[in-house]
Amino acid sequence: MKIFKGLKKYWFWAILSPLAMMVEVICDLQLPNLMSRIVDEGINNPLLSGTEKLETVLSIGGLMLLLGLLGAMGGMSSSFFAAKASQSFGRDLRKKAFGKIMHLSFEQTDKFTTGSLVTRLSNDITMVTDFVTMALRMFIRSPFMLVGGLYMLITMSGDFGLILAIACPLLLLTFFLFLRKATPLFSVVQKKLDKVNNVVQENVTGARVVKAYVREEHEIKRFDEANVDLVNTSYRVQKILTFMMPIIMIIMNLTVVAVITVGGFEVDAGNMKVGAIMSAMTYLTMVLMSFIMVGNMAQHITRAFASVRRVNEVLDTEPVIKDGTVTEGTERGTVSFKNVTFAYPSSSGEPVLSNISFDVKRGETVAIMGATGSGKTSLINLIPRFYDATEGEVFVDGVNVKEYTLAALRKRISVVSQKTELFSGSIRHNILQGKPDASDAEIERAITVAQAKEFIDSFEEGIESDVGEKGMKLSGGQRQRVSIARGVIRCPEIMIMDDSMSALDLSTDARLRKALKKELSDTTVIMVAQRVATVMTADRIIILENGTIVGNDNHERLLESCEAYQTIYNSQLKKGDETDGR
Amino acid sequence: MADNRKPQGVQMHPPGRGGGPMRHGMPFEKPKDAKGTVSRLIKYIGKSKYLLLGLFVSVVFISLAGLAAPYFQGISVDVLDILEGERVDFNKLFIYVGLLAAAYIVNSLFTFIQGLIAVRLARNTVRDMRRDLFNHLARLPVKFFDTHRHGDIMSRMTNDVETVSNTISMSLTVVVSGVLTITGVLTVMFILNWQMTLISFITVPLSFMATLLMGKVMRKYFKRQQALNGELNGISEEAITEYRTVAAYSLEDSEIADFDLSADNLKNTAVTAQLLGGMMGPIMNTLGNLNYILIAAAGGFFSVSSGMPLSVIQSFLLYSKQFTRPINELGNQWATIQTAIAGAERIFAVMDSPLEADEGKSDAKVDGELDFSHVAFAYKEGEPVLNDFDIHVNKGNRIAIVGKTGAGKTTVVNLLTRFYDIQGGSITVDGTDLFDFPKAELRKNIAIVLQDTVLFSDTVKNNIKYGREDATDEEIIAAARLANAHSFISKLPDGYDTVLSESGANLSAGQRQLLSIARAIIADPKILILDEATSSVDTTTELHIQEAMLNLMKDRTSLIIAHRLSTIRDVDKIIVLDGGRICESGNHEELLQKGGYYRKLYMDQFAGIET
């Protein structure tokens, strides 16, 4: 797996860790032997006097303690080395994956979904990192212990090998049978848990509706069904697993009984001493424990490799939007679409926009209107190259957008999107994202233009106020104005506003548009809007219907000639005129 | 880790929790009132008396068998302890080995029974606790949901309940068997030789201290690791979910720099935490070895000086391991139990929140005449939202409430439905005080269409039927037609039987609104409350919604929280709210002519002309 190539950089630690682990295992393997010698050569030795016995016990004991300490050192340094290697590897992987994700094109992010990218970056990488730790330590320890213990046992007596030959397959069979039965049930349990969560979620967020329609009893019944279903299913899984443990215990314990019995014959024949039997029991337990651990490894490996695959999918994705080379335009502030057709790459190919052509001159304000799904957002997404047109060409500053470097293209454009996206931190932090080196005067000007000054000044901490996670501490209208200020501060050549004034009341909306016109007179503004009042004063209004342009003119002329615009106008401002009073 | 310290044979403790060294390091919370919470918990599990009794009995048998096994093992090994040239007494050996096997079988058998009882006990407690919690939750006042974080409520419902009940059945077993084993082993050891017993105690305080000290340091690092992990996830989640802004403002590099810094910090802390975690096992092993040597040495000494039998030494070697294990395990359980009690506290906190009051006994009928008189209300003390609020609505009238955000429009709805209760004045419906109606009677006659449409992950049909349980299919379709929803429903893959994904995510905002209107239509209420949505929907859907709303309002007393021009213009009366008071009222023409606050508001909000 090439993902693990990242470990190469830390090869030093990655090699030291298993080596240190081997020291621990070797020491561990010696201990039972020494213990038996304490009994056989010390306490039980009829040839020694009392003080000699004590001396033997103490000298062997001293060796045992030394070996034990050496083993402990080995174990500790092994976990330190393993942590060094795996955590550094994990950090690199995290950085690499995050860097990759940050440069993915929109269609790829859409395809992965943001939620899944977040889990891949956190859970999956943690899983892979933990796997490396385990591989460096446990995957070395258990097989080594297994082989070492086996060797010790068989050198004592071949009969012990026979006991193992019976016990091991039995253990394997037990594991296999139970896990095969239980594993599929785990995902069922998860699904049922989701269902329970879902009911609670709906009741918590929809409490008003439940109460308004007096449906508490219905909800309680619905919950009870989901709850009982979940609990019973997980009970079934647990019950299966309850069988497993005692069976494994009895197999392992009966091998101890077998060792004593077999040992009886060996001692009887004079081949062994009692201390050796005692250490044989310890070795046997060691071997069987390691055997179980080795069995568990398979499970860890499958789980880790599912994560590896998911991380690899991210790492292997190459952004589809490729950088160009041009950094300078020829006709500042212009935007034009030439026969543009666009279909979302993930869709069935049904175009969202077809054959769109229009030109916007420097400093013009163009509004885009149309029903939901008519393609407004898709259209403006093509300008900063969030997506590429399927057919036709988009020009910014007289140059095809595909020829610019992405940074150069996006630097000339400010996008204020529909779903206002703020970052946790202060208002200043968010505004500075538009222009990191902006002076205080520039910030002041931007918030004034964005009509955000009044509410920011009303905050105790002013511009330093924390906006909360995703800006949740601000109201919808305040969030929109902060994100407009973030766009304004760049003094962009082109400002794109995607329905970004919807939460403002109309007088604020009007003041904002006026200020934009005055302060950013050179800036070309392209705005998507739903309200006639917002678009009336634009230089031009483009009306979209099912992905095609059905009107492209100013308010007065559209009102005369464009049926689609008339419908919108009437639905919003019908009879409005007569009460206009001007 | 501790293979060489284990008694020969598998440790006899109930299955279910791994008590590895990592356990010590997991951060845990401290409960506030542990005593009170525990006694409430005991009442909970006390419901399954026979299960508890069975659990206790099997734990006793497991512990007894656990005590007997090393003894039998000791005496059977003793049989093999012969001098050169002697023969093994096989009769004796087979008897002892048989007894040993029997002890193991009894142990496994009761471990199995104990396991079965424990999962059953856990199932019952999870089920009952969750059921009680939800029963309570469903009857809590709306205020509770408005003032608690939803994610928090969710986690109490699932995580906390699960942790608590699992810990109950598991910890109970561990504690009981631990205490039994320790007492049993100690008794036997003292009977065998008290001097040896004291000697084998020497390492106990050492291992205790090691557990405690290491645990403390490790918890600190694991906590820090968790916090850093949270920080890292926070950065990546924000950058990834807000990727549009990141791309638009070319913020990739600054986000990556932030992320890298956190990733470095996390790595450093994680290495330390893992190192500390890896130390626990070796330290315990060393202490175990020390103990072994001490016993062997002391045994050698006593056997010489006072002729102590060798089997005693062997039993001691085994027993000393037998009692250090439960001591460590009890230490581990301490953290788990504390966390569980803290979880139980959170659960009981919900269960202790006062239920929605429902004291009304009147059998008066709701017909649709409303009267608000001198109503006062505040969500927070000292910040009145409504003050001396008076309106009278005749049956079948339409009233629109307008005003700026925060003027108290939604509050009127909250009070009429008794989601919140008035704090002064009175509200009467058809002459009967609002408080005299049973809440169910009142709410059955009021339908609300909310700004944020609430749909349930169920079929379209059941979502409409939510308004009235006994509605027939014909009625449902008729309601959908009136709500202008029939045509889009018919186009859904399974029509009325289409299952909505979570909260109706597979429908557009407009369609969801139409469904909620259909739901209100089928409820056939006397009083209707419309909280119009502010979100922008396209013109066609907008027209559909308006038409549907007009259908809905026909012949019903309607309160409209208005955001749309068309709905306001045709109402019988407009109430203009400002600062919690009614500042103007009248119909549209009258109010415009008056040229006051309404006119300004109207121009501002609806026509978009600056005044």
> Does this complex have an ipTM over 0.90?
no
Same domain, A432 and A483: yes
pLDDT range class, residue B604, cuts 50, 70, 90: low
Same domain, A369 and A483: no
CB contact under 8 A, B256 and A424: no
B210 within domain boundaries: yes
Hey, which residues 310-349 in chain B have their CB within 8 Å of chain A? 310, 313-314
Nearest CA in chain A to B468: A213
The mean pLDDT value for B594-604 works out to: 78
Same domain, B187 and B228: no
d(CA B326, CA B323) in angstroms, rounded, equals 6
Same domain, A554 and A506: yes
pLDDT range class, residue A466, cuts 50, 70, 90: confident
Same domain, B199 and B265: yes
pLDDT range class, residue A576, cuts 50, 70, 90: very low
Range of the domain at A367: 350-412+493-510+522-573
Same domain, B95 and B230: no
**Three-state SS at A353:** strand
Tell me, yes or no, if B1 comes closer than 8 A to chain A by beta carbon: yes
Q: Which residues of B touch A546 (CB under 8 A)?
A: none
Same domain, A457 and A552: no
Same domain, B124 and B267: no
Query: What percent of chain B is predicted at pLDDT more than 90?
Result: 6
Same domain, A499 and A569: yes
Question: DSSP class of residue B514?
Answer: H
Question: To the nearest whole angstrom, how far is the Cα of B304 from the nearest Cα of chain A?
Answer: 5
Tell me, yes or no, if B257 comes closer than 8 A to chain A by beta carbon: no
Same domain, B233 and B379: no
Domain count, chain A: 2
A460 within domain boundaries: yes
**Three-state SS at A329:** coil
B364 within domain boundaries: yes
Question: To the nearest whole angstrom, how far is the Cα of B56 from the nearest Cα of chain A?
Answer: 17
Same domain, A498 and A555: yes
Question: DSSP class of residue B459?
Answer: B
Same domain, A407 and A498: yes
A404 within domain boundaries: yes
Pick from A155-159, A235-239, B205-209 the range whose average pLDDT is largest: A235-239
Range of the domain at B372: 360-445+527-540+561-606
Same domain, B276 and B204: yes
pLDDT range class, residue B253, cuts 50, 70, 90: confident
| Angstrom distances, CA of residue A377 to CA of A386, A422, A500, B101 | 11, 19, 12, 76
A508's tokens: 């604020």
d(CA A383, CA B431) in angstroms, rounded, equals 63
Q: Which residues of A touch B457 (CB under 8 A)?
A: 198, 202
CB contact under 8 A, A232 and B123: yes
Of A61, A223, A532, the CB nearest to B296: A61
DSSP labels for B139-191?
TS-HHHHHHS-HHHHHHIIIIIHHHHHHHHHHHHHHHHHHHHHHHHHHHHHHH
- pLDDT given at position B242: 79
A112's tokens: 């992965």
Q: Which residues of A touch B153 (CB under 8 A)?
A: 200, 204
Question: To the nearest whole angstrom, how far is the Cα of B340 from the nearest Cα of chain A?
Answer: 19
A447 within domain boundaries: yes
Q: How many CA atoms lie within 13 A of B413 on its CB side?
A: 28
The mean pLDDT value for A258-282 works out to: 82
Q: Which residues of A touch B467 (CB under 8 A)?
A: 213
DSSP labels for B66-122?
HHHHHHHHHHHHHHH---TT----HHHHHHHHHHHHHHHHHHHHHHHHHHHHHHHHH
Kind plus residue range of the DSSP H or E element containing A338? strand A335-342
CB contact under 8 A, B454 and A61: no
- pLDDT given at position B180: 85
Q: Which residues of A touch B404 (CB under 8 A)?
A: 505
Q: Which of B539, B564, B568 to mutate to test the interface with A (most CBs of A within 10 A)?
A: B539
A561 within domain boundaries: yes
CB contact under 8 A, B242 and A470: yes
Nearest CA in chain B to A207: B142
Same domain, A448 and A407: no
The mean pLDDT value for A408-431 works out to: 86
Of B278, B299, B454, the CB nearest to A209: B454
- Domain of B124, CATH number, reads 1.20.1560.10
Domain count, chain B: 3
From the CB of residue A388, how many other CB atoms can be counted at a distance below 10 Å? 18
Hey, which residues 408-447 in chain B have their CB within 8 Å of chain A? 417, 419, 439-440, 443-444, 446-447
Question: To the nearest whole angstrom, how far is the Cα of A339 from the nearest Cα of chain B?
Answer: 24
Hey, which residues 198-227 in chain B have their CB within 8 Å of chain A? none
Tell me, yes or no, if B83 comes closer than 8 A to chain A by beta carbon: yes
Q: Which residues of A touch B126 (CB under 8 A)?
A: 231
Kind plus residue range of the DSSP H or E element containing B374? strand B370-380
B452 within domain boundaries: no
B431 within domain boundaries: yes
CB contact under 8 A, A433 and B251: yes
- Domain of B535, CATH number, reads 3.40.50.300
Question: To the nearest whole angstrom, how far is the Cα of B449 from the nearest Cα of chain A?
Answer: 9
Q: Which residues of B touch A54 (CB under 8 A)?
A: 297, 300-301, 304
CB contact under 8 A, A503 and B534: yes
Q: Which of A52, A260, A277 to mutate to test the interface with B (most CBs of B within 10 A)?
A: A260
A164 within domain boundaries: no
Residue with tokens 């086996």: A150
Tell me, yes or no, if B610 comes closer than 8 A to chain A by beta carbon: yes
B509 within domain boundaries: no
Strand locations in A95-140 (E): none
Same domain, B115 and B128: yes
- pLDDT given at position B534: 53
Same domain, B167 and B246: no
CB contact under 8 A, A80 and B84: no
| Angstrom distances, CA of residue B307 to CA of B68, B299, B301 | 25, 10, 9
pLDDT range class, residue A178, cuts 50, 70, 90: confident
Does pLDDT of A525 surpass 90? yes
**Which among A391, A373, A396 has a CA at the least distance from the CA of A526?**
A396
A243 within domain boundaries: no
Span B122-181, pLDDT tens digits = 888 888 888 898 988 888 888 888 877 777 787 788 778 888 877 877 777 788 888 888
The mean pLDDT value for B543-570 works out to: 78
Same domain, A554 and A452: no
Span B441-471, pLDDT tens digits = 888 888 888 777 788 888 899 999 888 888 9
- pLDDT given at position B607: 56
Backbone angles phi, psi at A502, to 5 degrees: -65, -30
Q: Which residues of B touch A249 (CB under 8 A)?
A: 10, 12, 104, 107-108, 111
Same domain, A408 and A429: no
Q: Which of A410, A579, A582 to mutate to test the interface with B (most CBs of B within 10 A)?
A: A579
Same domain, A501 and A550: yes
Cβ distance A374 to A547 under 8 Å?
Answer: yes
Tell me, yes or no, if B122 comes closer than 8 A to chain A by beta carbon: yes
Tell me, yes or no, if B162 comes closer than 8 A to chain A by beta carbon: no
The mean pLDDT value for B393-413 works out to: 81
Does pLDDT of A415 surpass 70? yes
CB contact under 8 A, A421 and B245: yes
Same domain, B137 and B231: no
Q: Which residues of B touch A104 (CB under 8 A)?
A: 243
CB contact under 8 A, A215 and B301: no
Q: Which residues of A touch B569 (CB under 8 A)?
A: 575
Of A57-61, B104-108, B373-377, B572-576, the range with the lowest mean pLDDT is: A57-61
Of B304, B450, B536, the CB nearest to A50: B304
CB contact under 8 A, A249 and B299: no
Same domain, B139 and B274: no
B271's tokens: 């290495």
For all residues of chain B together, what is the average pLDDT?
A: 80
A466 within domain boundaries: yes
Across A200-217, b (16+ Cβ under 10 Å) vs e yields bbbbbbbbbbbbbbbbbe
- pLDDT given at position A361: 92
d(CA A16, CA A120) in angstroms, rounded, equals 30
A393 within domain boundaries: yes
pLDDT range class, residue B611, cuts 50, 70, 90: very low
Same domain, B110 and B244: no
Same domain, B246 and B186: no
From the CB of residue A316, how many other CB atoms can be counted at a distance below 10 Å? 10
- pLDDT given at position B8: 42
Does pLDDT of B37 surpass 80? yes
CB contact under 8 A, B278 and A243: no
d(CA B135, CA A221) in angstroms, rounded, equals 9
B320 within domain boundaries: no
Same domain, A502 and A549: yes
- Domain of A534, CATH number, reads 3.40.50.300
